[in-house]
């Protein structure tokens, strides 16, 4: 039996739209990473970009379980300027309440994808929007109902 390897002409990409309202962040990110990589397809090939396009709407209404949104002992994001003493920290709750709340979802998905050139290509197929409107209606994305797959996916 031969191992199947997809050719670029055989790859078919679909568009999915996921409504993130009241979905648990980690479960949303892991399922999105599976869709972006293409691991849900029987024709998955690790060295080819056979994943789909994913549009996530209502990202500012995503649910953080436990104490992750708590400012004192919650989930922290760190960045460093490169200078001594240049570390900055912010909480997930501040980012969700700030100007770019979609960054929380994008960072969670980014950290579940391979850290190489293929991961960069797959992450470019992700489109995250804070509200319900998105400009990808012409691609006719299908709704991906993550909430009905498991009762733990929602708050």
Q: Which of 142, 109, 115 lies closest to 127, judged by CA? A: 109
Task: Provide the residue-wise pLDDT of the chain in tens; the chain has 155 residues.
Answer: 788 899 999 999 999 999 999 999 999 999 999 999 999 999 999 999 999 999 999 999 999 988 888 888 889 999 999 999 999 999 998 999 999 999 999 999 999 999 999 999 999 999 999 999 999 999 999 999 999 989 999 98
Q: How far apart are CA 132 and CA 31, in angstroms?
A: 20
What pTM value is reported for the model? Answer: 0.91
**Gap between the Cα atoms of 101 and 111, Å rounded:** 17
What local confidence, expressed as pLDDT, does residue 146 receive?
93
Look at residue 98 in the predicted model and tell me its pLDDT: 92
- Measured CA to CA, the distance from residue 1 to residue 94 in angstroms comes to 53
CATH class of the region 14-63+99-149: alpha beta
Domain boundaries, the chain: 14-63+99-149
Which residue in 108, 115, 33 sits closest to 63, CA to CA? 108
């Amino acid at each position: 039996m031969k191992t199947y390897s997809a050719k670029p002409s055989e790859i078919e990409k679909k568009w999915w739209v996921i409504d993130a309202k009241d979905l648990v962040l980690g479960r949303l990110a892991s399922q999105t990473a599976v869709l972006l990589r293409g691991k849900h397809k029987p024709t998955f090939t690790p060295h080819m970009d056979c994943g789909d396009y994913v549009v996530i709407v209502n990202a500012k209404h995503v649910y953080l379980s436990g104490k992750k949104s708590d400012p004192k002992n919650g989930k922290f994001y760190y960045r460093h300027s490169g200078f001594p003493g240049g570390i900055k920290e912010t909480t997930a709750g501040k980012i969700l309440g700030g100007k770019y709340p979609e960054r929380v979802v994008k960072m969670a998905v980014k950290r579940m994808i391979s850290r190489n050139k293929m991961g960069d290509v797959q992450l470019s197929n992700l489109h995250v929007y804070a509200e319900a409107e998105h400009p990808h209606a012409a691609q006719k994305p299908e709704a991906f109902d993550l909430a009905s797959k498991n009762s733990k996916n929602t708050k």
